[in-house]
Amino acid sequence: MENIAPQLYTLLVFMVIGSIVAVETKNLLSAVISVSAVGFALSVAFLLMGAPDIAITQLVVEVLVLIILIRGTILLDNTAVETHTDTLAVVASLVFFGLLLGFGAMIFGSRGFPEFGEPLMRVSRVYVQTGLPATYAANIVTSIILDFRAYDTLGEASVLFASVLGALALLRKDGKVKREEEAAA
Amino acid sequence: MKGMTLIVKTITDFVVAFIVVFGAYIVLYGHLTPGGGFAGGVIIACAFILLMLAHGSDAAFAILPAKVAHILDSAGALAFLIIGWIGMTGGFFFLNVFGRGEMFRLLSSGMILPLNIAIAFKVGSSLFLVFAALAMFRRRSFRAMIEEELS
C-alpha cells in the first residue's frame, strides 16, 4: 500500500475548513453546500483508504441529502441567522477540547498511534479469513453485513422504516382529528 | 408549465433509464463488486427524484404511485425478515441455508443476493417516499402562505 498520508492530510484540512465555514457562515445555502463539500471529501478519503463500498454509499447519500437540503433551504429567505456568543458555551467547549487533548496525550502520548489496521481483532480476523470460503461472496463487505452480521442490517432497515413512518406521520396532509371535526361539522 | 425547463426535461428523459439500470447493477452485483442493496437502492431512488424534480411530482407518481411505494417499502422489510426466518430451517436466524453456488458467479453466495434485493426495494422506496412527503409538505405550506397573503 503506497503512502497516502499527504492526500489524506490535504483532504482533512479541506474538511476542517469546510466544517468551520458551514458553522460560521450567515447564509443558509452556503452552509448546506459547505456541509456537502465535507461529505464529498469524506467520500474521496474513503476511496483513498481502499473502501469503495463505503465511498459509493457516502457519495450517493450525499447527493440525495444535498438535493433535499437545497430544496428545503432555497426558498427560505432567512439567510441572516442570528448569532450570539455565549461565554459559558465558549468556556465549556474549550474545557472539553482540553480534556480531549489531555486524554489523548495520556493514552497515545507514550506509545504513539497504532498502525493503520493494527491490531486485527479476533472477530474481524475470522471474518477476513473465512469470508470467501464460508459465503462465496467475492465482496467481503457484503459477506459481513449480510451474512455474519445480518442482524445489524435488520436493525438498520428497521430504523429506516421507523424514520419513514415518522416523516409521513409528521408531514401528512391533515390529521385525523381535523378530518373528524370536518365530518362532524 | 410544470417542472423545470425543456432542456432539463429532455436530458432527464435520456438519463433516467441509465441511472435505474446502473442502480440495478449495483444491487445485483453487490456480492461481487463494491456496492450493495443500500447504495443501489439510493441510486434508483435518485432516478425517481430526478424525474420528480424535472417533470413535477405527478410524472413520478404516474410511474411509481405513492401507494405502490408504500407497499414496496413494507414488502422489502418483510422479505428481509422472511429470508431471516428461512434460516430457522437450519436452526438459526439468518443462517445461510441456500445453496452457495459457484464462486464469482452472479447466482452465488446463497441468501446475500435476495437480501440485497430486499434492502434495495426497502431503501429506494422509503427514500423516494421521504422526498415525496417533503415536496408535498413544501407545496402545501407554500399554498397556505399565498392564501394568507390573499386574505
Query: What's the pLDDT tens digit per position in A7-55?
Result: 889 999 999 999 999 988 888 888 899 999 999 999 999 998 888 889 9
Q: Is B39 on the interface with A (CB under 8 A)?
A: yes
Neighbours of A17 (CB within 10 A): 14
Task: Tell me which amino acid residue A82 is.
Answer: E
d(CA A26, CA A40): 22
Q: pTM for this structure?
A: 0.81
Across the interface, whether the CB atoms of A60 and B39 are under 8 A apart is answered: yes
Residue holding cell 435476495?
Answer: B114
What would the grid cell of residue A181 be? 371535526
Task: Tell me which amino acid residue A35 is.
Answer: V
Q: Are B37 and A60 in contact (CB under 8 A)?
A: no
Q: Is A74 on the interface with B (CB under 8 A)?
A: no
Of A71, A150, A160, nearest to B126 by CB-CB distance is A160
- Between residues 71 and 90 of chain B, which touch chain A (CB distance below 8 Å)? 73-74, 76-77, 80-81, 84
Sequence ranges of the domains in chain A: 1-79, 121-185
Q: Are B93 and B85 in contact (CB under 8 A)?
A: yes
Of B39, B94, B112, nearest to A137 by CB-CB distance is B112
pLDDT value at residue A185: 62
Helix (H, G, I), strand (E, B) or coil at A112: coil
d(CA A144, CA A80): 46
pLDDT value at residue A156: 87
Q: Is B59 on the interface with A (CB under 8 A)?
A: no
Beta bridge partners, B108, equal B101
Query: DSSP strand E in chain A: where?
Result: none
pLDDT value at residue A83: 63
Report yes or no for ipTM above 0.85: no
pLDDT value at residue A146: 84
Residue holding cell 481502499?
Answer: A50
Helix (H, G, I), strand (E, B) or coil at B101: strand
Across the interface, whether the CB atoms of A72 and B138 are under 8 A apart is answered: yes
Cα→Cα distances B87→A45, A123, A140, B108, B112, Å: 37, 22, 21, 17, 12
CB pairs under 8 A between A and B: 142
Of A52, A136, A157, nearest to B109 by CB-CB distance is A136
B35 φ/ψ angles, rounded to the nearest 5 degrees: 135, -155
> Which residues of chain A does B101 touch, with a Cβ-Cβ cutoff of 8 Å?
136
Chunked in runs of 10, what are the mean pLDDT values of chain B (151 residues)?
82 93 92 87 92 86 88 90 86 78 76 89 90 72 60 60
Measured over the CA atoms of residue A169, residue A174, residue A177 and residue A179, the dihedral's sign is: negative
Q: List, for residues B117-139, the tens digit of each pLDDT value.
A: 999 999 999 889 888 877 776 66
What would the grid cell of residue A35 be? 456541509
Neighbours of B32 (CB within 10 A): 19
Whether residue A179 has pLDDT greater than 80: no
> Which residues of chain B does A52 touch, with a Cβ-Cβ cutoff of 8 Å?
34
